[in-house]
A = this chain, B = another copy of it.
Amino acid sequence: MTIMEHTSKITVRYYETDQMGVVHHSNYIRYFETAREEMMQHYGIPYSETESRGIIMPVHAVHCDYIRPARYGEVLSVVTRLEEMPRSRITFRYQICNPSGILLAKGYVTLAFVDVSRGVPVRAPGFLTEVLEKYLNL
Protein backbone atom coordinates (compact mmCIF):
# COMPACT_ATOMS: atom_id res chain seq x y z
CA MET A 1 0.00 0.00 0.00
CA THR A 2 1.09 3.54 -0.71
CA ILE A 3 0.34 6.44 1.52
CA MET A 4 -0.16 10.07 0.63
CA GLU A 5 2.00 12.50 2.52
CA HIS A 6 2.53 16.24 2.47
CA THR A 7 4.73 18.53 4.54
CA SER A 8 3.63 22.05 5.43
CA LYS A 9 5.85 24.74 6.87
CA ILE A 10 3.95 26.77 9.46
CA THR A 11 5.60 29.66 11.28
CA VAL A 12 4.44 30.17 14.86
CA ARG A 13 2.71 33.53 15.20
CA TYR A 14 2.92 35.69 18.30
CA TYR A 15 -0.82 35.57 19.04
CA GLU A 16 -0.60 31.77 19.17
CA THR A 17 1.57 31.83 22.30
CA ASP A 18 0.17 31.96 25.83
CA GLN A 19 1.61 33.08 29.15
CA MET A 20 3.51 29.80 29.58
CA GLY A 21 5.74 31.27 26.85
CA VAL A 22 4.89 28.54 24.32
CA VAL A 23 2.17 27.81 21.75
CA HIS A 24 -1.27 27.30 23.31
CA HIS A 25 -2.35 23.68 22.85
CA SER A 26 -5.55 24.58 20.99
CA ASN A 27 -3.50 25.99 18.13
CA TYR A 28 -2.08 22.59 17.19
CA ILE A 29 -5.62 21.63 16.17
CA ARG A 30 -5.60 24.70 13.92
CA TYR A 31 -2.18 23.76 12.52
CA PHE A 32 -3.66 20.35 11.67
CA GLU A 33 -6.43 22.11 9.73
CA THR A 34 -4.05 24.43 7.90
CA ALA A 35 -1.76 21.51 6.98
CA ARG A 36 -4.67 19.50 5.59
CA GLU A 37 -5.87 22.51 3.61
CA GLU A 38 -2.40 22.81 2.08
CA MET A 39 -2.24 19.08 1.34
CA MET A 40 -5.58 19.05 -0.46
CA GLN A 41 -4.62 22.21 -2.38
CA HIS A 42 -1.33 20.54 -3.35
CA TYR A 43 -3.24 17.57 -4.78
CA GLY A 44 -5.56 19.82 -6.77
CA ILE A 45 -8.66 19.49 -4.62
CA PRO A 46 -8.69 22.60 -2.41
CA TYR A 47 -11.29 22.54 0.32
CA SER A 48 -12.85 25.75 -0.98
CA GLU A 49 -13.75 23.78 -4.12
CA THR A 50 -15.20 20.93 -2.08
CA GLU A 51 -17.49 23.43 -0.37
CA SER A 52 -18.41 25.14 -3.64
CA ARG A 53 -19.48 21.71 -4.94
CA GLY A 54 -21.94 21.50 -2.07
CA ILE A 55 -20.01 19.18 0.25
CA ILE A 56 -18.87 20.32 3.68
CA MET A 57 -16.54 18.27 5.88
CA PRO A 58 -17.39 18.69 9.57
CA VAL A 59 -14.85 17.31 12.03
CA HIS A 60 -15.90 14.05 13.69
CA ALA A 61 -12.97 13.50 16.07
CA VAL A 62 -9.70 15.14 17.04
CA HIS A 63 -6.78 13.72 18.98
CA CYS A 64 -3.44 15.28 19.82
CA ASP A 65 -0.51 14.10 21.96
CA TYR A 66 1.78 16.91 23.06
CA ILE A 67 5.42 15.96 23.50
CA ARG A 68 7.42 19.18 23.58
CA PRO A 69 6.35 22.81 23.28
CA ALA A 70 6.52 24.87 20.08
CA ARG A 71 7.90 28.38 20.48
CA TYR A 72 7.28 31.77 18.90
CA GLY A 73 8.95 32.29 15.53
CA GLU A 74 9.78 28.63 14.92
CA VAL A 75 9.10 27.27 11.46
CA LEU A 76 7.29 24.02 12.18
CA SER A 77 7.14 21.07 9.80
CA VAL A 78 3.69 19.55 9.83
CA VAL A 79 3.55 16.19 8.06
CA THR A 80 0.04 15.17 7.02
CA ARG A 81 -0.65 11.57 5.99
CA LEU A 82 -3.57 9.83 4.40
CA GLU A 83 -3.33 6.05 4.80
CA GLU A 84 -6.75 4.73 3.79
CA MET A 85 -9.27 5.50 1.06
CA PRO A 86 -12.12 7.46 2.66
CA ARG A 87 -15.61 6.03 2.67
CA SER A 88 -18.07 7.81 4.90
CA ARG A 89 -15.16 9.36 6.79
CA ILE A 90 -11.60 10.46 6.12
CA THR A 91 -8.74 10.38 8.63
CA PHE A 92 -5.67 12.59 8.42
CA ARG A 93 -2.66 11.72 10.62
CA TYR A 94 -0.15 14.35 11.72
CA GLN A 95 3.33 14.82 13.08
CA ILE A 96 4.65 18.25 14.01
CA CYS A 97 8.41 18.79 14.29
CA ASN A 98 10.45 21.85 15.16
CA PRO A 99 13.31 23.12 12.94
CA SER A 100 15.74 20.71 14.67
CA GLY A 101 13.57 17.78 13.61
CA ILE A 102 12.40 17.07 17.14
CA LEU A 103 8.87 15.69 17.37
CA LEU A 104 6.60 18.14 19.20
CA ALA A 105 3.18 16.62 18.70
CA LYS A 106 1.26 13.96 16.84
CA GLY A 107 -2.39 13.28 16.32
CA TYR A 108 -5.23 12.69 13.92
CA VAL A 109 -8.43 14.28 12.72
CA THR A 110 -11.42 12.39 11.31
CA LEU A 111 -13.93 14.27 9.16
CA ALA A 112 -17.32 13.36 7.69
CA PHE A 113 -18.86 14.41 4.37
CA VAL A 114 -22.18 16.25 4.41
CA ASP A 115 -24.31 17.22 1.42
CA VAL A 116 -25.22 20.82 2.25
CA SER A 117 -28.39 21.01 0.14
CA ARG A 118 -29.90 17.91 1.78
CA GLY A 119 -28.16 18.28 5.14
CA VAL A 120 -27.25 14.59 5.32
CA PRO A 121 -23.98 12.65 5.66
CA VAL A 122 -22.79 11.13 2.39
CA ARG A 123 -19.91 9.01 1.11
CA ALA A 124 -16.67 10.63 -0.02
CA PRO A 125 -17.55 12.40 -3.29
CA GLY A 126 -16.22 11.11 -6.62
CA PHE A 127 -14.14 14.19 -7.44
CA LEU A 128 -12.18 13.52 -4.26
CA THR A 129 -11.82 9.73 -4.43
CA GLU A 130 -10.76 9.88 -8.10
CA VAL A 131 -7.73 11.94 -7.14
CA LEU A 132 -6.93 9.88 -4.09
CA GLU A 133 -7.09 6.61 -6.06
CA LYS A 134 -4.17 7.79 -8.16
CA TYR A 135 -2.00 7.94 -5.06
CA LEU A 136 -3.45 5.40 -2.67
CA ASN A 137 -3.09 1.90 -4.17
CA LEU A 138 -5.19 -0.53 -2.21
Contact = CB atoms under 8 A, between A and B. Distances in A.
Interface of A: 13-15, 17-22, 24-27, 29-30, 33-34, 37, 46-48, 51, 56, 58-66, 69, 72-73
Main secondary structure of the interface of A (DSSP, over half): mixed
Copies in the complex: 4
A88 B136 CA distance: 41
A131 B33 CA distance: 37
A23 to B, nearest CB: 9
A34 B30 CA distance: 16
Nearest to A46: B73
Given A60-B65, A63-B62, A73-B47, A13 B34 contact: yes
A30 B37 contact: no
